[in-house]
Amino acid sequence: GQQVMQIPQYQHVQEGEDFTTYCNSSTTLSNIQWYKQRPGGHPVFLIQLVKSGEVKKQKRLTFQFGEAKKNSSLHITATQTTDVGTYFCATGDGGFKTIFGAGTRLFVKA
């Protein structure tokens, strides 16, 4: 079945440093979604990308969808302690289900 692989599994950064997580698939994706889960919380939808080469920004967060629609990235500029959590990429399976990556856990040291 369709899978999305996320790297890295976790990352420790100093506050103010940048952070990037990557999501890769061996097949062409119809869309990619990104979710954030704070420690002890539930996943919260951040954004969806559907077009080849699409780039969207939300304040310090930049989301990209690859030209071949097989990969995506989430980049955070100048991390803050409020960015701590796990970031998941996800994609529709062409049916009714959403396939989630394993997530990248971000630790930010003040």
Partner 1 sequence: NAGVTQTPKFRVLKTGQSMTLLCAQDMNHEYMYWYRQDPGMGLRLIHYSVGEGTTAKGEVPDGYNVSRLKKQNFLLGLESAAPSQTSVYFCASSAAETQYFGPGTRLLVL
Interacting stretch for partner 1, rule CB under 8 A, among 12-20, 56-64, 70-78, 102-110? 102-110
Q: Residue 29's CB: how many other CB atoms inside 10 A?
A: 25
DSSP E strand stretches across the chain: 5-7, 10-14, 19-24, 32-37, 44-49, 55-58, 61-65, 71-76, 85-92, 98-100, 104-109
Between 13 and 102, name the residue whose CB sits nearer to partner 1: 102
Binds partner 1 by CB under 8 A, chosen from 14, 42, 59, 110: 42
Taking the complex as a whole, how short is the minimal distance between the CB of residue 34 and partner 1, in angstroms? 11
Taking the complex as a whole, how short is the minimal distance between the CB of residue 17 and partner 1, in angstroms? 23
Q: Which of 88, 80, 78, 87 is nearest to 106 (CA)?
A: 87
Interacting stretch for partner 1, rule CB under 8 A, among 16-24, 31-39, 52-60, 66-74? 31-39
Can you read off the two tokens belonging to residue 46?
Answer: 């951040």
Interacting stretch for partner 1, rule CB under 8 A, among 14-22, 63-71, 74-82, 97-105? 97-105
Q: What's the rounded Cα separation, in Å, for the pair 13 and 8?
A: 13
Where along the sequence are the contacts to partner 1 (CB under 8 A)? 31, 33, 35, 41-45, 48, 88, 90-92, 96-98, 100-103, 105
